[in-house]
């Protein structure tokens, strides 16, 4: 457990606190954020990698799908069942921002339910929801960027309080007086929370809008103004919707929106109600009671989500939903990358196969193009096997046979000469399912899946369900090939 800071011997200054908070509070989140920031919106491989990053974490997957199905994104498009389709709907840039904010909020909440930190998280969701609504009225495409900037506006202070209790040495940091808080921060930290947030934003590339909002110029952009107004609304609402501070602020909101103050108030109260749902979507139910509602009531937090096991279980309804979504996506003529990513996601989450890969066959070698699951993170480098005329492994047998191959003890009893040494180094020698794809008489690739966490235990139901997804992939490829010829 993280220990409270001992100020007498602590270092001070912006750089010190940025390094400390990154190292002590959010090292795992920082690593994933760095990986997310490498992804390019114009690279299909990066789109696939983003899906894999999300699907590594069942909790992150759950929240991403919940957000994708929220009113802000789903609209009339129908229910979203796969991360792959969620990325198509939201876009890589938007999904990357959502993932970064989810990772940071999750890291903060995991460090312990410190009261001051929870208050700031609640304020962040309220501010973000208000800011997004203000921006959406002007520029819908910029709304998500503004949402993330407002959500993380107090990131430095959140990170500080996530591992620090209020004591006699730092209680001035939580006073209502802005001047007193600023002076206390300079005394205790040797800097301001604002500067710490800006340092974290630069390190993690959280966006120019956040950096501008933290240090706005004389004529800030509309995006930065929306962030600042969202932050002000979230603070003023804590004093009451009819407080003098809120009434004065509504005049400022009116100038930004060109609406009457009374209409601005109604909109702000509506967004405050929505902020409760947004917090739940991000897995922060514990802060909902801290967000002012229309009538200034407080809601009890929902119980914390149960930690999800890494072991995958078959989900027939999810299989059906993803197969339908896959058929719809193919009909809309999305590219083959999206199709394959949805197929392995369906086999992973729906069928319950722990490790899944799509391998492309070229020059007598099969190499993993897409991979998913705990233990399959490096398969695009290591899943590389010879399937030439002189090779001897299960993939050679699969390619020669075509269709579905169920590799288990019975298979090796009937095929005693098939070698296992080469594949076992990478795959572990567990039972597996292999389906070889065939298009126009050629075999361009295959789908591999196993249940490593169960020692390879595969049932007939697993094999049948796997075959449904493999057959759908086969059909999609054939349809695309036919369309390309026309």
pLDDT digits (tens, 9 = 90+) for 74-88: 665 678 899 999 998
Extract the tokens encoding 448. Answer: 């591999």
Measured between alpha carbons, how far is residue 255 from residues 127, 134, 137, 138 in Å?
18, 12, 14, 13
213-217, 422-426, 464-468: segment of lowest average pLDDT: 422-426
Question: Hey, what's the torsion of the CAs at 452, 458, 464, 466, to 10 degrees?
Answer: 0
Label residue 277 by pLDDT band (50, 70, 90): confident
H runs (alpha helix) in 295-451:
316-331, 336-345, 379-382, 394-401, 409-414, 421-427
In a 3-state reduction of DSSP, which class is residue 206? Answer: coil
43-47, 267-271, 307-311, 388-392: segment of lowest average pLDDT: 307-311
- Among 30-39, 90-99, 358-367, 373-382, the range of highest mean pLDDT: 358-367
Spatial separation of the C-alpha atoms in residues 407 and 405, rounded to whole Å: 6
Asked if pLDDT for residue 176 goes beyond 60, the answer is: yes
Asked if pLDDT for residue 304 goes beyond 70, the answer is: no
- Give yes or no for a contact between 64 and 54, defined as CB atoms under 8 angstroms apart: yes
Extract the tokens encoding 88. Answer: 């198509």
Spatial separation of the C-alpha atoms in residues 414 and 429, rounded to whole Å: 17
Spatial separation of the C-alpha atoms in residues 159 and 199, rounded to whole Å: 12
Spatial separation of the C-alpha atoms in residues 465 and 255, rounded to whole Å: 58
CA 433, chain centre distance (Å): 29
Instruction: Give me the pLDDT at residue 300, please.
Output: 35
Extract the tokens encoding 143. Answer: 């709304």
Topology of the domain covering 316-485: Beta-Lactamase (3.30.450)
338 vs 368, more confident? 368
Mean pLDDT on 398-422 = 87
- Among 6-15, 67-76, 167-176, 234-243, the range of highest mean pLDDT: 234-243
* In the chain, where the domains are located: 7-25+111-290, 316-485
User: What CATH code would you report for 7-25+111-290?
Assistant: 1.10.3210
Asked if pLDDT for residue 167 goes beyond 90, the answer is: no
Q: Which of 204, 202, 199 is nearest to 160 (CA)?
A: 199
11-15, 230-234, 253-257: segment of lowest average pLDDT: 11-15
Average pLDDT, the chain: 85
Put simply, whether the predicted model's pTM sits higher than 0.75 gets the answer: no
H runs (alpha helix) in 346-446:
379-382, 394-401, 409-414, 421-427
- Give yes or no for a contact between 213 and 28, defined as CB atoms under 8 angstroms apart: no
Q: Which of 312, 254, 42 is nearest to 137 (CA)?
A: 254
- Give yes or no for a contact between 299 and 293, defined as CB atoms under 8 angstroms apart: yes
In a 3-state reduction of DSSP, which class is residue 92? Answer: helix
Q: Which of 339, 142, 312 is nearest to 224 (CA)?
A: 142
Angle at CA 273, nearest 5°, toward 154 and 293? Answer: 80
415 vs 275, more confident? 275
Spatial separation of the C-alpha atoms in residues 210 and 364, rounded to whole Å: 50
103-121 CB burial, b ≥16 within 10 A, e <16? bbbbbbbebeebebbbbbb
Instruction: Give me the pLDDT at residue 250, please.
Output: 96
């Amino acid at each position: 457990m993280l220990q409270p800071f001992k100020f007498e011997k602590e270092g001070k200054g912006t750089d010190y606190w940025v390094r400390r908070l990154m190292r002590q509070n959010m090292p795992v989140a920082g690593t994933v954020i760095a990986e997310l920031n490498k992804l390019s919106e114009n690279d299909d491989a990066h789109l696939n990698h983003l899906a894999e990053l999300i699907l590594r974490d069942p909790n992150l997957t759950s929240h991403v799908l919940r957000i994708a199905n929220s009113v802000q994104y789903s609209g009339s498009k129908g229910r979203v069942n796969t991360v792959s389709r969620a990325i198509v709907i939201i876009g890589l840039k938007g999904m990357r921002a959502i993932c970064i904010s989810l990772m940071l909020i999750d890291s903060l909440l995991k460090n312990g339910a410190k009261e001051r930190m929870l208050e700031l998280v609640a304020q962040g969701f309220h501010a973000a929801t208000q800011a997004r609504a203000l921006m959406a009225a002007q520029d819908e495409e910029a709304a998500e960027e503004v949402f993330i900037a407002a959500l993380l506006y107090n990131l430095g202070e959140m990170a500080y309080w996530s591992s620090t209790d209020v004591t006699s040495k730092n209680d001035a940091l939580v006073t209502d007086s802005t001047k007193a808080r600023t002076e206390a921060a300079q005394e205790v930290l040797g800097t301001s929370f604002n500067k710490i947030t800006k340092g974290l934003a630069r390190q993690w590339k959280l966006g120019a809008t956040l950096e501008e909002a933290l240090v706005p110029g004389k004529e800030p952009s509309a995006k930065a103004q929306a962030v600042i107004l969202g932050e002000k609304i979230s603070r003023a609402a804590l004093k009451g919707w009819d407080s003098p501070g809120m009434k004065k602020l509504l005049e400022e909101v009116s100038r930004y929106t060109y609406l009457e103050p009374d209409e601005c108030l109604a909109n702000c109260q509506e967004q405050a109600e929505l902020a409760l749902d947004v917090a739940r979507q991000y897995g922060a139910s514990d802060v909902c009671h801290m967000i002012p509602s229309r009538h200034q009531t407080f809601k009890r937090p929902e119980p914390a989500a149960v930690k999800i096991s890494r072991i995958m279980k078959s989900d027939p309804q999810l299989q059906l939903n993803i197969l339908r979504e896959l058929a719809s996506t193919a009909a809309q003529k999305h590219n083959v990358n999206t199709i394959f990513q949805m197929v392995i996601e369906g086999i992973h989450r729906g069928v319950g196969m722990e490790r899944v890969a799509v391998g492309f066959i070229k020059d007598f070698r099969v190499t993993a193009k897409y991979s998913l699951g705990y233990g399959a993170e490096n398969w695009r480098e290591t899943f590389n096997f010879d399937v030439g005329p002189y090779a001897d492994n299960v993939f050679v047998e699969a390619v020669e046979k075509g269709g579905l191959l169920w590799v288990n003890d019975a298979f090796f009893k009937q095929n005693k000469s098939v070698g296992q040494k080469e594949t076992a180094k990478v795959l572990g020698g567990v039972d597996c399912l292999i389906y070889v794809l065939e298009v126009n008489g050629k075999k361009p690739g295959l789908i591999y899946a196993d249940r490593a966490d169960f020692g390879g235990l595969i049932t007939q139901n697993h094999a049948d369900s796997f075959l449904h997804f493999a057959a759908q992939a086969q059909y999609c490829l054939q349809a695309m090939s036919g369309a390309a010829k026309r």
